[in-house]
């Protein structure tokens, strides 16, 4: 546990084999706390640099944490890291910190996990879904199962190289390329490794979630270079069932908006926070 200037890096211990790593900065008295839900292969690093600094400058705070199976979070090797485990952990962590005035923010499947945390009784002022909305169909199931198989045989390096041209903007690809496309990095994931177990566990996620029941203000962010999960007509259909939404399009970004354009992303969520005051 480290603490300085209101910032702490800490561990929530569940038991001897299970713990959750998190980073937390408390807001100013009038501020909100953004609770960030990672993508499957993500980590706290996605949120805590440019984005975290900009949030704190505006008087808000944040909680970023790693799912069991992600970096620095421990898990029992015998456990299936399924949707129930991941969502229950988020609720446990939020309750342990006694957070109030929250805005839940989820990237990709993290947005579904955030919505399921609301289902479990988490009280939030708002919700931000980043490239989350998609319909459950044979195409999505095929993609999800293939990603697990690619990781099984070539690890996350092959998975990223395989996916990047169809989920990221050209400018982000140029940033990534010097450290990518190296076949020496393609090593299959151990099936007991955290990321593999998380990916396998993600196949339990129910993408037939009823988005119409979310009644808090919600921002839907969509990156146009995401050619894998972005089906505009499906997103339009889902949005048409939702009550209190604002849609923000990022034509110059792909799936990973917080990494591709962290400054604009932070501006948008701070503005959303202001609108809830």
Instruction: Write out pLDDT tens, residues 89-109.
Output: 999 999 999 999 999 999 999
User: What does the pLDDT look like over 21-74, one tens digit per residue?
Assistant: 999 999 999 999 999 999 999 999 999 999 999 999 999 999 999 999 999 999
* pLDDT interval class at 5 (50, 70, 90): low
Q: For residue 246, is pLDDT > 50?
A: yes
Tell me the torsion sign for CA atoms 189, 195, 197, 198: negative
Interval 6-21 mean pLDDT:
94
- pLDDT > 70 fraction of the chain, expressed in percent and rounded: 98
Residues 6 or more apart whose Cβ sits within 8 Å of residue 210? none
DSSP state of 70: B
* pTM summary value: 0.97
Structure confidence at residue 1 (pLDDT): 42
List the strands of the sheet with 218-223, edge to edge.
2-4, 7-15, 18-25, 61-65, 33-37, 102-107, 126-130, 218-223, 245-250
The b-or-e profile of 162-198 (16+ CB within 10 A means b, else e) is bbbeebbbeebeeebeeeeeeeeebeebeeebbbbbb
């Amino acid at each position: 546990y480290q603490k300085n200037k209101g910032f702490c890096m800490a561990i929530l211990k569940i038991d001897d084999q299970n713990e959750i790593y998190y980073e937390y900065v408390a807001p100013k008295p009038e501020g909100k706390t953004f609770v960030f839900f990672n993508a499957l292969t993500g980590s706290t690093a996605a949120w805590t640099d440019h984005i975290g600094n900009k949030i704190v400058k505006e008087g808000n705070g944040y909680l970023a944490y790693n799912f069991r199976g992600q970096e620095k979070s421990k898990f029992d090797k015998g456990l299936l890291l399924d949707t129930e485990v991941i969502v229950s952990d988020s609720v446990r962590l939020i309750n342990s910190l006694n957070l109030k005035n929250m805005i839940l923010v989820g990237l990709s499947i993290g947005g579904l996990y955030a919505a399921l945390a609301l289902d479990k009784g988490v009280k939030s002022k708002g919700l931000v879904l980043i490239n989350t909305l998609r319909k459950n169909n044979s195409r999505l199931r095929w993609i999800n199962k293939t990603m697990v198989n690619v990781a099984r045989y070539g690890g996350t390096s092959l998975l990223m190289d395989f996916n990047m041209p169809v989920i990221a903007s050209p400018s982000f690809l140029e940033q990534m390329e010097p450290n990518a496309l190296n076949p020496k990095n393609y090593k299959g994931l151990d099936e007991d490794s955290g990321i593999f177990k998380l990916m396998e566990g993600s196949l339990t996620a129910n993408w037939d979630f009823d988005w119409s029941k979310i009644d808090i203000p919600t921002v839907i962010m969509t990156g146009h270079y995401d050619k894998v999960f972005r089906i505009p007509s499906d997103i339009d259909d889902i949005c048409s069932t939702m009550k209190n939404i604002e849609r923000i399009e990022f034509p110059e970004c792909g799936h990973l908006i917080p990494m591709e354009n962290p400054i604009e992303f932070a501006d948008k969520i701070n503005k959303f926070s202001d609108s809830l005051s």
